Amino acid sequence: MQSITPPLIAVIGSDGSGKSTVCEHLITVVEKYGAAERVHLGKQAGNVGRAVTKLPLMGKSLHKTIERNQVKTAKKLPK
């Protein structure tokens, strides 16, 4: 029985830890066995936020909410 969902490999690490380099090497090895694709999910929240703020009716309101949440989150981070 074959799986309908293809395998997934997640590379997780802090900034500057070499995730991109590992992924570059990993994708070349994995491609030898079949189709492979690299997908970056790291900072997608920012892209989604920018897209949401362009919505005609709710954009400005959502932008303000997103900014408030970013400020609150930043204040909670250790210094």
Asked if 19 and 11 touch (Cβ cutoff 8 Å), the reply is yes
Whether residues 69 and 48 share a domain: the answer is: yes
Residue 43 confidence (pLDDT): 62
pLDDT 10s digits, 59-69: 888 888 878 87
Whether residues 35 and 18 share a domain: the answer is: yes
Whether residues 30 and 54 share a domain: the answer is: no
State yes or no: pLDDT of 75 exceeds 90.
Answer: no
Phi, psi values for residue 76, rounded to 5°: -80, -20
Whether residues 4 and 36 share a domain: the answer is: yes
Residue 24 confidence (pLDDT): 92
Whether residues 53 and 29 share a domain: the answer is: no
Whether residues 21 and 51 share a domain: the answer is: no
Domain residue limits at 37 = 1-41
Whether residues 30 and 57 share a domain: the answer is: no
pLDDT 10s digits, 3-54: 677 778 888 877 778 888 999 999 999 999 888 888 776 565 566 667 777 8
pTM of the model: 0.46
Whether residues 26 and 59 share a domain: the answer is: no
